[in-house]
């Protein structure tokens, strides 16, 4: 069990500040390096992929997605839907976050997998309820657009939280049930109540009530629709103890419910390069993802 409620404010802030735990660089340096790596990876992915950009999945100005497809793309090609992180509020200040979220296509498109990068209304423009509803709607839209494709989800940090919220959706509200074959959750946060009293919540302005209804750990009873989904929960060796604890707790909860969950503790990585390494075909998690899709 967590003892976050007994932590000092300074310790709580530190635990939920991923950049302060990197073993490679200072907090500012690791964030700048991360943005540079994702941007470069996405530019490379655009060079090798057939792209369709700014496809609407809803009526909101942020409700758009980018597709990175093999040149021999067919309607039954596996689709990986990627939900970006950034603590629900930013990744960079200079451009739309989905435009830096196609990097995984660099290693997946050559293997016949299409990558879909989803945008949503980050805070302070969007609130948590809206963001959760948007990513769920994006999955429904993609399923309807490509009904014969196998769907896989991947999210990092706040994006892993949003993927877990997709898995916890009450699909009766959408009149469809997406057949999600697999999900990769990387360095995620699954109980967002601890961040309500931290700096992270300043642009989000969540109450405890909002945090509770948007915490995957509080919605385990709604996971019965995901019983056939393969779920990989990965955490970096140099994630903070709280991030590591949250990943282990969520994994144990899924296993206790009979879900097909596996836990990956990735050595010599931090909160940022656990994701950046997906541009490498030989990276252990890339290989695991391709194996899940039958593309290894």
Catalytic positions are: 157, 239, 271
DSSP strand E in 14-123: where? 50-56, 64-69, 79-83, 114-118
Q: Which of 135, 141, 125, 196 is nearest to 163 (CA)?
A: 135
Written as six digits, the tokens of 207 are 């109450």
C-alpha–C-alpha distance, residues 66 and 71, integer Å: 15
The DSSP result for 5-30, as a single string, is: GGS-HHHHHHHT-GGGG-SSS-HHHH
* Beta carbons of 190 and 168 less than 8 angstroms apart: no
* Beta carbons of 214 and 129 less than 8 angstroms apart: yes
């Amino acid at each position: 069990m967590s003892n976050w409620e007994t932590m000092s404010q300074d310790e709580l802030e530190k635990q939920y500040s991923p950049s302060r735990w990197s073993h490679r660089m200072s907090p500012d340096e690791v964030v700048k390096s991360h943005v540079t790596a994702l941007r470069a990876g996405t530019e490379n992915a655009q060079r090798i992929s057939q792209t369709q950009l700014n496809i609407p999945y809803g009526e909101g100005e942020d409700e758009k997605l980018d597709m990175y497809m093999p040149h021999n793309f067919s309607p039954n090609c596996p689709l990986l839907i990627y939900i970006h992180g950034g603590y629900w509020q930013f990744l960079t200040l200079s451009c739309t976050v989905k435009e830096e979220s196609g990097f995984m296509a660099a290693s997946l498109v050559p293997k016949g997998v299409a990558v879909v990068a989803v945008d949503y209304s980050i805070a302070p423009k969007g609130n948590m309820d809206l963001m959760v509803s948007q990513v769920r709607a994006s999955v429904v839209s993609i399923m309807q657009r490509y009904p014969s494709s196998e769907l896989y989800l991947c999210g990092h940090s706040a994006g892993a939280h949003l993927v877990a919220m997709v898995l916890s959706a009450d699909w009766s509200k959408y009149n469809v049930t997406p057949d999600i074959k697999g999900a990769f959750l990387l360095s995620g946060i699954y109980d967002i109540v601890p961040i309500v009293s931290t700096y992270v919540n300043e642009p989000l302005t969540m109450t405890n009530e909002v945090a509770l209804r948007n915490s995957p750990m509080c919605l385990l009873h709604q996971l019965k629709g995901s019983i056939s989904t393969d779920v990989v929960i990965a955490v970096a060796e140099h994630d903070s103890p709280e991030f590591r604890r949250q990943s282990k707790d969520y994994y144990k909860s899924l296993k206790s419910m009979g879900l097909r969950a596996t836990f990956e503790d990735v050595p010599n990585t931090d909160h940022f390069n656990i994701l950046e390494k997906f541009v490498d075909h030989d990276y252990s998690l890339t290989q695991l993802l391709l194996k899940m899709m039958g593309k290894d």
